[in-house]
């Protein structure tokens, strides 16, 4: 009996909030704790029934002993009424033997009753804990689900912040590339050969000569064709 009481004392002291605080995943852990507590309840109920049966047995022994004492005293009265004092003495002697058992039976009954009271307290506490956790289970799961969703939202927001940083980096790289291209073009202009004024004038007069020759050839064709 002592081992049973020692084992289940922790159940009486169990605090559902403390259990949940230690849970890594409340959504899974509330179901696990419910399963564990339900299994414990079955064991506690079985043990409690056994202890209560012992209490009942001890109480029955006390009552039966008292009933026997009362019966022998009644028999002694009847013997005295019939004038049989020796018979009355025998009955009273038997009553005294039974009276000698009274203290032991009463102590046993009180111990059994005390144990039964403790077990009933443990049983009732465990039932209350299971009822409490069942009532809070969906709320706990809902809160945990919202927390997980919030974590995902935070990740997405973080990704958005990273994309903004990437855009800013691309803008800086583009400006740098534009600057590099401008420098390259400037260097190309600086390294190009300077223009020759005489060569440019030469091209002008060469083009003028070609134009004059074309005009003369066109006038000749028109004259031959009678178009003038």
pLDDT, tens digit, 9 for 90 and up, residues 37-82:
888 888 888 888 999 999 999 999 999 999 999 999 999 999 999 9
Residue 228 in any domain: the answer is no
Q: How far apart are CA 41 and CA 34, in angstroms?
A: 10
Q: pLDDT value at position 37? A: 80
Domain count, the chain: 1
Give me the residues of the chain with pLDDT under 50, please: 2, 12
Q: What is the pLDDT of residue 43?
A: 84
pTM: 0.50
Q: Decide: 79 and 88 in contact? Cβ < 8 Å.
A: yes
In a domain, 209, yes or no: no
Question: Residue 195 domain-assigned?
Answer: no
How confident is the model at residue 110, as a pLDDT?
94
Distance CA 36, CA 75 (A): 58
Q: What range defines the domain where residue 136 resides?
A: 2-162
On whether the CB atoms of residues 52 and 120 are closer than 8 A, the answer is: yes
Q: Is 19 exposed, middle or buried (0-12, 13-18, 19+ CB in 10 A)?
A: middle
> Residue 29, Cβ neighbours under 10 Å: how many?
16
Q: Which residue has the tokens 């009553």?
A: 95
Residue 218 φ then ψ, to 5°:
-65, -40
Confirm whether 167 is domain-assigned: no
* Closest to 32 (Cα-Cα) out of 133, 139, 148, 122: 133
* 14 occurs within a structural domain: yes
């Amino acid at each position: 009996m002592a081992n049973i009481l020692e084992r289940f004392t922790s159940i009486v002291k169990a605090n559902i909030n403390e259990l949940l605080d230690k849970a890594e995943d409340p959504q899974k852990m509330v179901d696990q704790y419910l399963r564990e507590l339900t299994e414990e309840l079955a064991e506690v109920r079985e043990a409690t029934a056994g202890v209560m049966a012992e209490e009942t047995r001890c109480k029955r022994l006390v009552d039966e002993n008292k009933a026997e004492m009362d019966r022998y005293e009644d028999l002694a009265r009847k013997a005295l009424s019939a004038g049989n004092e020796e018979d009355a003495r025998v009955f009273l002697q038997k009553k005294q033997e039974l009276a000698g058992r009274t203290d032991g039976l009463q102590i046993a009954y009180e111990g059994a009753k005390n144990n039964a009271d403790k077990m009933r307290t443990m049983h009732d506490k465990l039932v209350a804990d299971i009822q409490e956790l069942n009532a809070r289970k969906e709320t706990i799961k809902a809160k945990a689900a919202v927390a997980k969703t919030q974590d995902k939202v935070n990740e997405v927001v973080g990704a958005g912040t990273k994309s903004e940083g990437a855009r800013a980096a691309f803008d800086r790289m583009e400006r740098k590339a534009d600057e590099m291209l401008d420098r390259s073009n400037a260097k190309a202009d600086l390294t190009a050969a300077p223009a020759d004024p005489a060569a440019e004038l030469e091209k002008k007069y060469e083009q003028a000569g070609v134009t004059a020759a074309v005009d003369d050839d066109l006038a000749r064709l028109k004259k031959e064709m009678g178009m003038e």
